[in-house]
Amino acid sequence: MLTTLLPSSSLPTVSVWWDLFSIDSFAHVFLFCVLTFLMIVGFAKQFTLLKLKHYPIRYALFISTLFGIFVELMQHFFIPGRHGDIVDVLCNTLGCLIGIVLFKWVYVW
């Protein structure tokens, strides 16, 4: 997740038609997909907090989505050379949803 705070000058540049199809957007989707998937698995396999064990998808989606918003706010207000972007928040949330689908595909279906 540290890569989401890197300055934009350190990311590879690609000519794209929309920001949605940039390498940065795909990186956000991928990272938050992995984060959500692993968070669900971890919550489901732990025995300390029963609410997390019984509702791992709900809590993982909530926590990872809030984390994505928090990262964008950190970029906007505290990281020189970066700015928060609503497209990144949407890509983070899309990655979270894909992580849930991946979890259901691997463990449920």
**For residue 109, what pLDDT is reported?**
78
Q: How confident is the prediction for the chain on average, in pLDDT?
A: 87
Across the range 70-74, mean pLDDT stands at 94
Give dist(CA 36, CA 16) in Å, integer. 27
For residue 58, the surrounding DSSP H or E stretch is helix 56-78
User: pLDDT-based confidence at 98, cuts 50/70/90?
Assistant: very high
Both structure tokens of 109:
């279906």
The pTM of this model reads: 0.81
More confident residue, 105 or 14: 105
pLDDT over 70 (residue 42): yes
Cβ contacts of 98 within 8 Å, gap of 6 or more: 29, 33, 36
**For residue 83, what pLDDT is reported?**
85
List the domain boundaries for the chain: 31-108
pLDDT over 50 (residue 62): yes
More confident residue, 92 or 4: 92
pLDDT over 50 (residue 76): yes
